[in-house]
């Protein structure tokens, strides 16, 4: 048996399986309708479970921006407030927190160093 024959046979098998499932589905739909008719009203649909939260991917662009700002500060270094001002996120609490978290992550990863309240490129 060559591949074309196998593929045709498999396709026919899947079509037949789908037909069986469709007949079962139709029978279930008929049973539900009969139940609803006997009760008089359709029962409320069950509430679906809340969707799972997906993990967010790391935003490397924020990291790159911060490393660029720190690198541009040269040997003088730059403080957290300076980074926030340079990125123009002053007053946006979530963005400021994001900067702080990113600075901590960069420090932990060894991509920047922190001395006397200022960040320097490593």
CB 33 within 8 A of CB 42: no
The model's pLDDT over 18-42, given as tens digits with 9 standing for 90+, comes to 999 999 999 998 888 888 888 776 5
Beta strand spans in the chain (E):
112-115, 118-121
Instruction: For residue 87, give the 3-state DSSP assignment.
Output: coil
Give residue-wise pLDDT tens across range 29-88.
888 888 888 877 655 666 766 766 666 666 668 888 899 999 888 888 999 999 999 989
Give the per-residue pLDDT at 60.
67
Helix axes 93-109, 60-72, angle to 10 degrees: 80
């Amino acid at each position: 048996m060559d591949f074309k024959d196998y593929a045709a046979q498999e396709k026919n098998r899947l079509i037949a399986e789908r037909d069986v499932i469709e007949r079962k589905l139709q029978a279930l739909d008929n049973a539900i309708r009969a139940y609803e008719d006997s009760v008089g009203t359709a029962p409320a649909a069950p509430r679906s479970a809340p969707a799972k939260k997906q993990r967010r991917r790391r935003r490397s662009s924020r990291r790159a921006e911060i490393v660029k700002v720190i690198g541009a500060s040269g040997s003088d270094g730059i403080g957290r407030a300076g980074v926030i001002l340079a990125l123009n996120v002053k007053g946006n609490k979530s963005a400021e927190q994001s900067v702080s978290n990113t600075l901590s992550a960069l420090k932990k990863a060894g991509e920047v160093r922190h001395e006397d309240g200022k960040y320097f490129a490593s």
